[in-house]
Structure 1
């Protein structure tokens, strides 16, 4: 049976056989028997990692170790409140920091970024993330919103409906207000030029001849 450690764009956890392309960490959320309880985070250092790095191997949900979380892709991880890991994804982390500096006027350290992200994403005293409403047309590419209970990824072609296995065909952005899943701090970084890695089923722009 799959573990309920697949994170959705709205931050909820799901048990699914569908494979993710990235891993993440929010601290130790499971007990000694490997059962994930009601906690959804411990601490503010939420990172998004590659699945393989320098040949390291981990036992999933090992006692006393952090809980391995998985995502369809980086766009989902960002919507769920994570940022690139500075160790296994150094080039992406540097690109994130450069976009952060553009968005906020200064290059800041990981602790400052994590504090700002946590204030924007988490509801104090709750086990869920903070969301707001707004117009889908105002969201930067790489953001997520939900409409009629279904998450969508904003792309150059409109909106891609999300499922744990991948994305559906592009649809038009809805004209009415939607539930915005990606927090405003991360949206500012996306708008400043950070491009998250997306699942192969995400539609990409056509290539231009050189």
Structure 2
């Protein structure tokens, strides 16, 4: 009766896969944004009952970037600034 919990993560190819390890970052699949699991913006939307149906999880930041997601401007301000600068070059 000691069943392992299975987590559904998004891989670098953008496809879902099952993992026995939880993700370290969350994201929004429609907006293609990733951020911390404790992001105040995401938590506000989740509390309102929004966002949850589009919520995805990533093993790490490299995977989120490879899958085509950008950093959140609220919880990852410095990473977002770097992304924005690179995007505009």
Q: Taking structure 2 as the reference length, what is the TM-score of the superposition?
A: 0.72
Structure 1 residue matching 2:88: 3-state secondary structure: helix
Q: Is the 8 A contact 2:39 2:74 kept in 1?
A: no
- Report the equivalent of 2:13: 10
1:53 and 1:101, CA in 2 relative to 1: closer, same or farther beyond 3 A?
A: same
Higher helix share: 2
1:15 and 1:63, CA in 2 relative to 1: closer, same or farther beyond 3 A?
A: farther
- Report the equivalent of 1:100: 87
- Which structure 1 residue ranges, 5 or more long, are not aligned? 28-44, 103-210
Q: Are positions 1:24 and 2:30 aligned together?
A: no
The separation in 2 between residues aligned to 1:81 and 1:92, in whole angstroms, is 15
Q: Is the 8 A contact 1:7 1:70 kept in 2?
A: yes
Structure 1 residue matching 2:62: 3-state secondary structure: helix
- Report the equivalent of 2:58: 71
Structure 2 residue matching 1:15: 3-state secondary structure: strand
Map residues 115-194 of structure 1 onto 2, 5 A cutoff: none
CA offset digits 1:6-48 (Å, max 9, x no partner): 0011111012221222111114xxxxxxxxxxxxxxxxx2101
1:93 and 1:64, CA in 2 relative to 1: closer, same or farther beyond 3 A?
A: closer
Q: Is the 8 A contact 1:26 1:66 kept in 2?
A: no
Please report how far the alpha carbon of residue 80 of structure 1 lies from its aligned counterpart in structure 2 after TM superposition.
0.7
Higher strand share: 2
- Which structure 2 residue ranges, 5 or more long, are not aligned? none
Structure with greater Cα Rg? 1
The separation in 2 between residues aligned to 1:95 and 1:2, in whole angstroms, is 34
CA offset digits 1:134-192 (Å, max 9, x no partner): xxxxxxxxxxxxxxxxxxxxxxxxxxxxxxxxxxxxxxxxxxxxxxxxxxxxxxxxxxx
Q: Is the 8 A contact 1:23 1:50 kept in 2?
A: yes
Q: Taking structure 1 as the reference length, what is the TM-score of the superposition?
A: 0.34
Residue-pair matches, total: 81
Please report how far the alpha carbon of residue 66 of structure 1 lies from its aligned counterpart in structure 2 after TM superposition.
3.4
- Higher RCO (CA < 8 A, seq sep 6+): 2
